[in-house]
Structure 1
Amino acid sequence: MGAPALAYGDAALSAFELDFFESGQRWRRPLGQVWSTRFEAIAPVRNFRWTKGVESFAGWYYCVTARDHVGYESWLERDRLILMDRDPQVVGIASQPFWLHWHDGPRSRRHAPDYFVRLADGRGRVVDVRADDQVDEAAAESFTATRHACEAAGWEFVRVGVPDPVFMANVRWLARYRRRRCLQWPVAARLLEVFEEPVPLLDGVVEAGDRLEVLPVLFHLMWSGVLAADLRGELLHDGSVVWKERVR
């Protein structure tokens, strides 16, 4: 990158530009001018592509955190989106929030991060999703530039890869019950009593009532973290030990 004027007190705030949609208009402005924009609430800067014959698969995921559909461009991005949706520290998520523009010597470069996340304490976080073995030289350069831009803006930057497969399989299952319609308070109250101490999953469900009524509520409480189990050790099954979390 060159040596831009210190218009915003940090050269990076002038060196990087963001290209994004807001209020039905497209904007391209220096990072120092737009860093406070609510990027967790804007439309994607580019369309999601569905291409026949490729391994990746784009789609839309209903995100309970955002109360809206959020796009993804691969199964890996979808998995990471599910994990962010379950994270109690995340209060806003948008996909493909902006194009980040910069110059690498004479070359003009740009990169669209996968997600912008707003955290409960107000901080912003930019997330790129790429498996470790898929980070080539060009991607590494883009991630490094994005990290520099985020540091200048006061945002976090993380590049995440493939999650633990057992944990991810369990969370995918729980995500089926993420919507609030799965929460029935009388059943939830019974489950909290039953699992006050660790109990095998099916034993606790039978004690709480009819399993067809109880299981969706149980899985919603586990998605929400009110009830817990060892999601990393093995796939959930009838004998998985479930307990009430003490600290929320």
Structure 2
Amino acid sequence: MRLKDFDESGPWRRVRSVHGMAHYSGDYASATTGGQVVYESRLELARLLLADFDPSVCGIYAQPLHMVARIGERVRSHVPDFLLVMRSGTVRVVNVKPASRVQDPKVAQALAWPGQMVERHGWEYEIWSGAAPTLLENIRFLAAYRHPGVVPADEVERAWQEVVDGDELALAERRLAGDRKREEARPALMALLWDGRLTTDLEARPLSGECVLRRRG
């Protein structure tokens, strides 16, 4: 199993949304991949948003492979939810499960053996059950600005040149807006936050004018 084998691969299962389904599935337009990535639940979508926002992630594959192994006297199979490729060269296989289900011994066992196989292969393994609600809400908001061109590039670059390290968001907006309404300058700053050139504490509170901006790079 080599990373390059995934270059032209598609999801192992076909994801379909049917009226009355208990799960929430769909396609997410990823800024990282430049294409659609499938998900099968809101929790999977949350993990996908975090991966797309993470500057250390350069590749995302959904349902990347079908694993089969003999465990004891049984042949077991498993399709992980995501495979993430890091800029460092590290590969991480991710399974997404609600915390309540991970506590079930049968579910825990079903998730354990794939992890053992992945780690023997030299890759990382993650069982993900959620993140801080404030962090997720902030990233969902910033995701509206994730694609190049949503905010004109010249406006984003002007904001980058004018924002001062340590500015509160409201102050940066007022300086950038000039004679315009403050809110008109906000999209460029949001695009910089999504891009990671600006950072702020996204876990402590919802995004507001009091958030302190830090320049990166």
- Find the counterpart in structure 2 of residue 56 from structure 1: 23
- Find the counterpart in structure 2 of residue 235 from structure 1: 206
Change (3 A) 1:117 1:197: closer
- Find the counterpart in structure 2 of residue 143 from structure 1: 111
How far 1:55 moved relative to its partner?
Answer: 4.1
2:210 counterpart letter in structure 1: S
Paired with 2:3 and 2:140, the residues of 1 have a C-alpha distance of: 33
Paired with 1:192 and 1:244, the residues of 2 have a C-alpha distance of: 11
Q: Give CA-to-partner distance per residue, 1:152-200, whole Å, 9 cap, x none.
A: 2111111111110001000000001000113434423432344313233
Q: Give CA-to-partner distance per residue, 1:41-82, whole Å, 9 cap, x none.
A: 520011114243344200000011111000000011001101
Matched, 1:71 2:38: yes
Paired with 1:36 and 1:221, the residues of 2 have a C-alpha distance of: 31
Q: Which has the greater radius of gyration?
A: 1
- Computed over aligned residues only, the root mean square deviation of the Cα atoms, in angstroms, reads 2.0
CA contact (8 A) 2:200 2:211 kept: yes
- Find the counterpart in structure 2 of residue 187 from structure 1: 155
CA contact (8 A) 2:11 2:62 kept: yes
TM-score, with length taken from structure 1: 0.79
Paired with 2:213 and 2:201, the residues of 1 have a C-alpha distance of: 10
1:240 counterpart letter in structure 2: E
CA contact (8 A) 2:167 2:214 kept: no
Change (3 A) 1:153 1:37: farther
Matched, 1:42 2:9: yes
How far 1:118 moved relative to its partner?
Answer: 1.1
CA contact (8 A) 2:164 2:172 kept: no
* Superposition pairs of residues 90-101 of structure 1, within 5 angstroms: 90-101=57-68
Matched, 1:170 2:138: yes
* Superposition pairs of residues 148-227 of structure 1, within 5 angstroms: 148-209=116-177, 210=180, 211=182, 213-227=184-198
Change (3 A) 1:177 1:96: same
TM-score, with length taken from structure 2: 0.89
How far 1:242 moved relative to its partner?
Answer: 3.4
1:241 counterpart letter in structure 2: C
State the identity as a percent. Answer: 31
CA contact (8 A) 1:40 1:117 kept: no
CA contact (8 A) 1:45 1:99 kept: yes
Q: How many equivalent residue pairs?
A: 213
Paired with 2:90 and 2:124, the residues of 1 have a C-alpha distance of: 8
Paired with 1:62 and 1:106, the residues of 2 have a C-alpha distance of: 42
Q: In structure 2, the residue corresponding to 1:180 is in which secondary structure?
A: coil
- Find the counterpart in structure 1 of residue 51 from structure 2: 84
1:205 counterpart letter in structure 2: E
Q: Pick from 73, 88, 93: which aligns with 1:121?
A: 88
Q: Give CA-to-partner distance per residue, 1:106-146, whole Å, 9 cap, x none.
A: 21111110001111122211011112111223321222111
Unaligned runs of 5+ residues in structure 1 are: 1-33
